[in-house]
């Protein structure tokens, strides 16, 4: 049990206020149920995502640093939690660049001064993902005690995507042995959902790419990559793919439909945020975890399994 994650700054990011509202809703609901406090970063901005990075990587560093600066300097938090892989990745990348690249530090200083807020200094705050947050505050043992509605009998493939583990150098705390996360074979989601009773199926594509960067700009490539993921999950017997990234989640949902419409390839595996599964296991209602806000309609499956 790590006390410092009991109360953390919460950085939802743009997607969680839009298409991934269900992820935000279920994350908050699970936090409340587990007695963990989330305090939203005041007046936050976009982390820069992949798109601003493509225009200029140092601008993305600045945008992410502003979020960390507010959480650390104005709100005095030691830890900021981002459930979105993109936001999490970008805050980590900004942290790495500001610790190692003097040019990035100079750009961030200049922009922060002109924008009128305190410049973020590397080391001012620790960025964690929603998976780290639950894994290191409650842990598997804590979850097992609190499970009201075991996920027993539900076959789950855990899908982590790209941004949670790559590139390796921006995640210095990973691959450190012991309880640390692995960048090659991430397992935090597997650990948590197994503790909630789910049957975790083998899933070699857990860090494959969904083509999220080109969901709209090169849709055929994205659809082909998503078909691989959906089929691999089904071949391994999964009824549900658990996600922890809004871009992956909506990418899988969108391209599952697009594969049907454009390539006549039908898959029936359901796509659900891991926080929604944890919420159901903790006894929350489908509504409370925002199951109705997903495009992928998993409610009949959960009813059949006695989870809803």
Partner 1 sequence: MPIHEKSLIRPENLHSQENLTIDGVDVSGHWSTFIEPRVVTDYNENLEDEIAALPGGEYIHRCWQCGSCTNACPVNAINPDFNPRFWIYLVRLGMEDELLRDKDIIWQCVSCNKCTYVCPRDVAPEGVMKATAHWLELKGHRPKSPSILFDEVFSEQVFATGKIEEGRIIRDFFKRTGQPLMQDWLVEMVKRLLSGLPLKLMMTMGLATLFRPRTRGWGPARAAIEEYVHEKEAEQRRALGLDGSAGDIE
User: Which residues make up the interface to partner 1 (CB under 8 A)?
Assistant: 14-15, 17-19, 21, 43-46, 48-52, 54-59, 62-63, 66, 107, 110-111, 114-116, 162, 165-168, 183, 208-209, 211-214, 216-218, 221-222, 224-225, 253-254, 257-258, 260-262, 291-295, 297, 299
7 forms beta bridges with 37
Which C-beta is closer to partner 1: that of 141 or that of 184?
A: 184
Rounded Cα–Cα distance for residues 27 and 24 (Å): 5
Instruction: Find the shortest distance in angstroms from Cβ 295 to partner 1.
Output: 5
Instruction: Find the shortest distance in angstroms from Cβ 146 to partner 1.
Output: 28
Which C-beta is closer to partner 1: that of 196 or that of 271?
A: 271
Which C-beta is closer to partner 1: that of 91 or that of 138?
A: 91
Question: How many alpha carbons lie under 13 Å from residue 3 in its C-beta half-sphere?
Answer: 0
Instruction: Find the shortest distance in angstroms from Cβ 306 to partner 1.
Output: 20
Instruction: Find the shortest distance in angstroms from Cβ 71 to partner 1.
Output: 14
Which C-beta is closer to partner 1: that of 102 or that of 116?
A: 116
Let me know: does 266 contact 230? Beta carbons within 8 Å.
no
Instruction: Find the shortest distance in angstroms from Cβ 216 to partner 1.
Output: 6
Question: Interior CA angle at 161 toward 219 and 120, to 5°?
Answer: 105
Which C-beta is closer to partner 1: that of 44 or that of 88?
A: 44
Rounded Cα–Cα distance for residues 65 and 95 (Å): 8
Quote the longest CA-to-CA distance of the chain.
57
Task: List the strands of the sheet with 270-273, edge to edge.
Answer: 199-200, 155-159, 240-243, 270-273
Instruction: Find the shortest distance in angstroms from Cβ 144 to partner 1.
Output: 31
Four-CA torsion 289, 153, 226, 215, nearest 10 degrees: 0
Rounded Cα–Cα distance for residues 81 and 133 (Å): 7
Which C-beta is closer to partner 1: that of 108 or that of 196?
A: 108
Instruction: Find the shortest distance in angstroms from Cβ 51 to partner 1.
Output: 4
Rounded Cα–Cα distance for residues 117 and 104 (Å): 17
Q: In a 10 Å sphere around its CB, with 0-12 CB exposed, 13-18 middle and 19+ buried, how is residue 42 labelled?
A: exposed
Which C-beta is closer to partner 1: that of 70 or that of 138?
A: 70
């Amino acid at each position: 049990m790590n006390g410092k994650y009991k109360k953390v700054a919460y950085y939802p990011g743009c997607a969680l206020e839009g298409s991934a509202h269900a992820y935000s809703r279920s994350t908050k609901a699970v936090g409340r149920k587990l007695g963990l406090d989330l305090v939203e970063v005041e007046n936050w901005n976009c982390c820069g995502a992949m798109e601003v990075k493509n225009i200029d990587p140092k601008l993305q560093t600045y945008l992410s640093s502003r979020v960390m600066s507010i959480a650390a300097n104005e709100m005095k938090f030691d830890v900021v939690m981002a459930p979105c892989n993109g936001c999490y990745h970008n805050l980590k990348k900004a942290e790495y660049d500001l610790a190692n690249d003097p040019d990035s530090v100079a750009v961030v200083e200049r922009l922060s001064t002109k924008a009128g807020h305190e410049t973020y200094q590397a080391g001012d705050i620790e960025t964690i993902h929603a998976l780290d947050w639950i894994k290191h505050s409650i842990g598997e043992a804590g979850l097992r005690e609190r499970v009201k509605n075991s996920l027993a009998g539900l076959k789950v493939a855990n899908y982590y995507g790209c941004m949670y583990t790559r590139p390796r150098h921006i995640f210095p705390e990973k691959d450190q042995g012991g309880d640390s996360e692995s960048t090659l074979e991430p397992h935090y989601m597997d650990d948590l959902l197994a503790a909630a009773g789910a049957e975790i199926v083998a899933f070699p594509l857990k860090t494959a790419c969904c083509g999220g960067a080109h969901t709209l700009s090169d849709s055929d490539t994205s659809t082909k990559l998503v078909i691989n993921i959906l089929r691999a999950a089904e071949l391994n017997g999964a009824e549900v793919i658990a996600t922890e990234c809004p871009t992956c989640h909506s990418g899988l949902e969108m391209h599952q439909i697009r594969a049907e419409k454009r390539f006549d390839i039908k898959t029936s595996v359901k796509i659900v945020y891991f926080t929604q599964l944890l919420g159901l296991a903790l006894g929350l209602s489908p509504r409370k975890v925002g199951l109705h806000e997903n495009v992928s309609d998993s409610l009949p499956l959960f009813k059949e399994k006695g989870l809803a």
